[in-house]
């Protein structure tokens, strides 16, 4: 159970850190969205795509007793970019660490949540009101998948072109450079960009 808010302010307060000692803030996001527990999850997919992501990404969590699966987003959806952008607005990331890119290696198409709409009107940001969030429709942007393994990539340019395009799209949308890219479960499977 998470006992502190997983925001920069929550970490500073929860761990009694001096904010003047923090020299870099790195946001860690998966290449697709997951959630544990109940609550609004606009991009959730409980069908074939979600099941495939659970299997490839090994998305299980053990709260107290039996293992249960994490809830997963639709159609290989990136960490809902509306949520990532909102997270950046309250945490002021210097860079991002995009993990589990390799889990998306077999998908033909990648759908990315880029906005929410209410009654046809696009919202300016992630809604703070749960009632509004529950009524919202998700706006998606589709990109081609790369359908090639990324697990042996050690530099950004070792990634397939479509995977690089995906990373660059996230950077442009969120407004933060992706400095680290996880391409597998091993410690060495991490691309570090300058």
Q: In what order do the strands lie in the sheet with 95-99?
A: 26-30, 95-99, 178-182, 190-192
Q: What is the pLDDT along the chain (194 residues), one digit of tens a residue?
A: 556 677 899 889 988 999 999 999 999 998 776 655 555 555 555 555 555 555 655 555 555 545 555 444 443 444 689 989 999 999 999 999 999 999 899 889 988 989 999 999 999 888 888 888 888 888 989 999 999 999 989 999 999 999 999 999 999 999 999 999 999 988 899 999 98
Going by the DSSP 8-state scheme, the letter that residue 194 receives in this structure is -
Residue 58 annotated as binding site: no
Residue 183 annotated as binding site: yes
- Tell me whether strands 95-99 and 178-182 are parallel, antiparallel or unpaired: parallel
- Tell me whether strands 60-61 and 68-69 are parallel, antiparallel or unpaired: antiparallel
Report DSSP letters for 171-184, one per residue: HHHHTS-EEEEE-S
Residue 111 annotated as binding site: no
- Tell me whether strands 109-118 and 137-144 are parallel, antiparallel or unpaired: antiparallel
- Find tokens 């003047």 and name the residue: 20
User: Domain segments of the chain: what residues?
Assistant: 24-192
CB 170 within 8 A of CB 98: yes
Half-sphere exposure of 7 (CA within 13 A, CB side): 13
Residue 145 annotated as binding site: no
Q: Is the pTM of this model over 0.85?
A: no
* 24-192 homologous superfamily: Adenylosuccinate Synthetase, subunit A, domain 3 (3.90.170.10)
Residue 135 annotated as binding site: no
Mention every residue, 6+ apart, whose C-beta is less than 8 A from residue 40. Answer: 130, 133, 134
Return the percent helix, strand and coil in the chain, to nearest 5.
30, 25, 45
Residue 51 annotated as binding site: no
């Amino acid at each position: 159970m998470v006992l502190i808010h997983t925001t920069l302010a929550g970490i500073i307060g929860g761990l009694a850190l001096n904010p003047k000692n923090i020299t870099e803030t790195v946001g860690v996001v998966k290449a697709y969205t997951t959630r544990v527990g109940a609550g609004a999850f606009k991009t959730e997919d409980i069908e074939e795509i979600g099941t495939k992501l659970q299997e490839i990404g090994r998305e299980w969590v053990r709260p107290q007793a039996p293992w249960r699966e994490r809830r997963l987003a639709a159609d290989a959806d990136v960490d809902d970019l509306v949520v990532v952008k909102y997270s950046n607005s309250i945490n002021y990331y210097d860079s991002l660490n995009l993990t589990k890119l390799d889990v998306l290696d077999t998908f033909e198409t990648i759908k990315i949540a880029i906005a929410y709409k209410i009654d046809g009107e696009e919202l300016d940001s992630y809604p703070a009101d749960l009632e509004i969030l529950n009524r919202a429709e998700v706006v998606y942007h589709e990109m081609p998948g790369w359908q090639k393994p990324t697990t042996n990539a050690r530099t950004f340019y070792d990634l397939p072109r479509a995977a690089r395009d995906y990373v660059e799209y996230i950077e442009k949308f969120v407004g933060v450079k992706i400095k680290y890219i996880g391409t597998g479960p091993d410690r060495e499977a991490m691309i570090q960009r300058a």
